[in-house]
Amino acid sequence: MAAAEKLVYTEVEYLIFEEQSEEKHEYIDGYIVDMAGGTFNHSQVSANVIFSLINASRGKNCMVVSSDLKVKVEKTGSFFYPDSMVVCGIPELVKGRKDAITTPLVIIEVLSDSTANYDCGKKFAHYRQLESLQGYILISQDTIHVDAFHKAEEGSWVLTDTLSLEKDIYIPALDIYLPTKEVYDKVTVAPSIP
């Protein structure tokens, strides 16, 4: 991901820039960062995840939202576009905005070669600053590999990985399982490396 320009922007400047742009950008540590382009696999996995999350969370007071909605990490002042999020209860919007929330319960990112390290590292460090966040799921688009993190009672993050279509993805914050076969439906992937 490349910076739009090598200048530091204020939050207001970023929001104005983003409203006028045809592409999406994230805002991290004062920098406007271009979003990576998507692939067929990325798009299909993202759509499958949203479909599966909606089905699995029926009857709960939760909503599944797509990558059109930004999340703001209040403690760091950064804005991100997760591939999907689950918000329970009444979503808290950024004051004066209709396109950014501050209270996701679960965030899902579909990994690409160019963003995998970033999504697992610096972005997750920002996301962990969200008091509402209880789950963070990273899904490979090229192999059957899902890393599902959930926040334990004492505040540490616990990882459960899924490397097979036969093992479903458990999301403790919602007490639901996502069928891994649904997540990878119509996606051509290589077998995962155990």
Using a pLDDT cut of 90, give the percent of the chain over it. Answer: 81
Q: Can you spell out the DSSP letters for 57-108?
A: TTTSSEEEEETTSEEEETTTTEEE--SEEEEESS--BPTT-SSEES--SEEE
C-beta separation of 11 from 27 below 8 A? yes
Residue type, 142: D
pLDDT tens digits for the chain (194 residues)? 444 455 899 999 999 999 999 999 999 999 999 887 788 999 999 999 999 999 999 999 999 999 999 999 999 999 999 999 999 999 999 999 999 999 999 999 999 877 777 788 889 999 999 999 999 999 999 999 999 999 999 999 999 999 999 999 999 999 999 999 999 999 998 766 66
Q: What are the tens digits of pLDDT across the range 43-75?
A: 999 999 999 999 999 999 999 999 999 999 999
Determine the Cα–Cα distance for residues 112 and 119; give it in Å rounded to an integer: 9
Identify the structural domains of the chain with CATH numbers, from first to last: 1-35 (no CATH), 38-183 (3.90.1570.10)
